Chains A and B, each alone.
Chain A
């Protein structure tokens, strides 16, 4: 330890010049991945485990490459992306709209709160068969599952965001004769955006889960359907390939929201500038 007293703040990290810590994941992530796949490979070759239980990394890789080459797999991917995004969009519109209303109106919050807690407590996945009964095997039932799952984190974060609007900022707007719309558009919305984006980050991942679970149970499209089909065909290597495919899809969506965050709220600490 050097003689720096403990209460002294750490020197600010210069932006634009990533320190050693910022570069570290670029080395450790591939290295760790390599080690894990290596262990997997060794385990499969040493124990001569049945490929039906655990296929080798190489055969999973081949299955995934085949999948990337197959137009049918891309149609299924497209179906899942469609369901996820439409469901997510509904969750976003309704979640933010209702969140803003609840955040502003105390009586509405008190009226709706028991129901909101109830919708949170219900295992929503248990409703999937019901949605299939009501809305059929097409994309609609899956969109609703995706939307219902993504809705809650977006709603709660929006409510929190609207309630966290700084009282001093509100004073400024009131002293400037701002209209209710101006207060919403110029203060409440931008002030809540960091919260809403956090809700969106959680929401998009839940929307994918909703889409896939919906596809398990009904219809003949989407990665969820594909997963079940592979399982029924005992093609475990393809099963793994679909899982990898889903994971990558999840990453793409998640980082998409991250990019949106840096674009929409570059002023906020969470954008890492």
Chain B
């Protein structure tokens, strides 16, 4: 495989796709200086696609994801979610945000709610009736593989199970898009492999569009249709890599020649840019 080079043709034209970033840029103001967190970035994620943002720390990948999630506004540029601009005259557009489900590095379950109530929380906020909430929560708990823990407190579950619950919560209101910020970063290696398999299965069953941030090369190659490699200071897209490995991928896929050559090329490129 040739060394990776910037491949701008892989970026879809602005205006199409489930998530579209058009010239999105982010500056942070600290007490005495401005930090350029993300340089002008164009990116488009197609409907049903699983795109992984990969990069060393400080490359702005989390900043990018949080901007897509509407948690922080971009300094300039436009963000479009399912054809709706995320920000309009400085105001966040709730219609766009409700197409997004977020999963964070920490499960962020509320300790005062049972697992079932945690998963149903988004529905409760939207005023869905109790019976429907319960039915939906139970179905999702089966989907993510934690049925039977409905009435437990979050602290009674393992880290992997809590993260499954967090995924179920993000899916509860059936958003079209899942945004995942290093969702398995806090898990041990074995649980992490397991969760990657589970996420692939959930993705194949639900056909959501997924934008996932990681700093693990193995996780990126295993999960992604397309890997967007970011480089730091300021954060910007360095390379975009397609991962043409058939699905469902298994743990054995890591021995696949394509997997290994992509992982190797990414590793070399990462060493150059970080």
Chain A contacts to B: CB under 8 angstroms: 166, 168-169, 171-172, 174-178, 182, 186-187, 190-191, 193, 265, 267-268
* Chain B residues near A187 (CB-CB < 8 A): 110
Are A190 and B110 in contact (CB-based, < 8 A)? yes
Are A175 and B70 in contact (CB-based, < 8 A)? yes
For the complex, what is the distance from the CA of A265 to the CA of B110, rounded to whole Å?
12
Task: With A172-B104, A174-B71, A175-B71 as known contacts, state yes or no: A267 contacts B125, CB within 8 Å.
Answer: no
* Chain A residues near B124 (CB-CB < 8 A): 186
Taking a contact as CB atoms closer than 8 A, the residue among A168, A177, A268 that contacts B97 in the complex is A177
For the complex, what is the distance from the CA of A171 to the CA of B109, rounded to whole Å?
11
Are B108 and A166 in contact (CB-based, < 8 A)? yes
Are B112 and A169 in contact (CB-based, < 8 A)? no
For the complex, what is the distance from the CA of A193 to the CA of B169, rounded to whole Å?
24
Are A176 and B121 in contact (CB-based, < 8 A)? yes
Interface string of B92-107 (1 = CB under 8 A from A): 0010011010101010
Interface string of B145-157 (1 = CB under 8 A from A): 0000000010100
Interface string of B246-268 (1 = CB under 8 A from A): 00000000000000000000000
Nearest A residue to B154 via CB reads A267
Are B106 and A175 in contact (CB-based, < 8 A)? no
CB of B56 within 8 Å of the partner chain: no
| B99-150 at interface with A (beta carbon < 8 Å) | 100, 102, 104, 106, 108, 110-113, 121-122, 124-125
CB of B74 within 8 Å of the partner chain: no
Min CB distance B71 to A, Å, is 6
Min CB distance B194 to A, Å, is 23
Min CB distance B123 to A, Å, is 10
Instruction: A175-B70, A176-B125, A186-B110 are known; give 16 further A-B pairs, CB within 8 A.
Output: A168-B108, A171-B104, A171-B108, A172-B104, A175-B71, A177-B97, A177-B125, A187-B110, A190-B112, A191-B112, A265-B112, A267-B111, A267-B112, A267-B153, A267-B155, A268-B112
Listed by A's residue number, 20 A-B pairs whose Cβ atoms lie within 8 Å are A166-B108, A168-B108, A169-B108, A169-B110, A172-B110, A174-B70, A175-B69, A175-B70, A176-B122, A176-B125, A177-B125, A182-B125, A186-B110, A186-B124, A187-B110, A191-B110, A191-B112, A267-B113, A267-B153, A268-B111
Chain B contacts to A: CB under 8 angstroms: 69-71, 94, 97-98, 100, 102, 104, 106, 108, 110-113, 121-122, 124-125, 153, 155, 169
Are B102 and A171 in contact (CB-based, < 8 A)? yes
Taking a contact as CB atoms closer than 8 A, the residue among B98, B111, B121 that contacts A186 in the complex is B121
Are B110 and A168 in contact (CB-based, < 8 A)? no
For the complex, what is the distance from the CA of A168 to the CA of B163, rounded to whole Å?
14
For the complex, what is the distance from the CA of A265 to the CA of B113, rounded to whole Å?
10
Which of A169, A178, A193, A267 counts the most chain B CB atoms within 10 A?
A267
Min CB distance A171 to B, Å, is 6
Are B111 and A168 in contact (CB-based, < 8 A)? no
Nearest B residue to A172 via CB reads B108
* Chain B residues near A171 (CB-CB < 8 A): 71, 102, 104, 108
Are A168 and B122 in contact (CB-based, < 8 A)? no
* Chain A residues near B98 (CB-CB < 8 A): 177
* Chain B residues near A178 (CB-CB < 8 A): 125
Nearest B residue to A273 via CB reads B153
Are A175 and B100 in contact (CB-based, < 8 A)? yes
What 6 pairs between A and B have smallest CB-CB spacing?
A: A168-B108, A175-B102, A190-B112, A177-B94, A267-B112, A176-B122
Which of A169, A174, A177, A182 counts the most chain B CB atoms within 10 A?
A177
Nearest A residue to B104 via CB reads A168
Are B102 and A172 in contact (CB-based, < 8 A)? yes
Min CB distance B99 to A, Å, is 11
Nearest B residue to A269 via CB reads B155
* Chain A residues near B97 (CB-CB < 8 A): 175, 177
* Chain B residues near A265 (CB-CB < 8 A): 112
For the complex, what is the distance from the CA of A172 to the CA of B101, rounded to whole Å?
9
Min CB distance A126 to B, Å, is 41
Min CB distance B163 to A, Å, is 13
Min CB distance A125 to B, Å, is 37
* Chain B residues near A174 (CB-CB < 8 A): 70-71
Min CB distance A169 to B, Å, is 6
For the complex, what is the distance from the CA of A177 to the CA of B173, rounded to whole Å?
12
Are A186 and B71 in contact (CB-based, < 8 A)? no
Taking a contact as CB atoms closer than 8 A, the residue among A168, A182, A190 that contacts B106 in the complex is A168
For the complex, what is the distance from the CA of A172 to the CA of B97, rounded to whole Å?
12
Min CB distance A76 to B, Å, is 40
For the complex, what is the distance from the CA of A168 to the CA of B98, rounded to whole Å?
18
* Chain B residues near A268 (CB-CB < 8 A): 111-112
For the complex, what is the distance from the CA of A186 to the CA of B123, rounded to whole Å?
13
Min CB distance A271 to B, Å, is 11
Min CB distance B272 to A, Å, is 33
Min CB distance A95 to B, Å, is 21
* Chain B residues near A175 (CB-CB < 8 A): 69-71, 97, 100, 102
Min CB distance A195 to B, Å, is 13
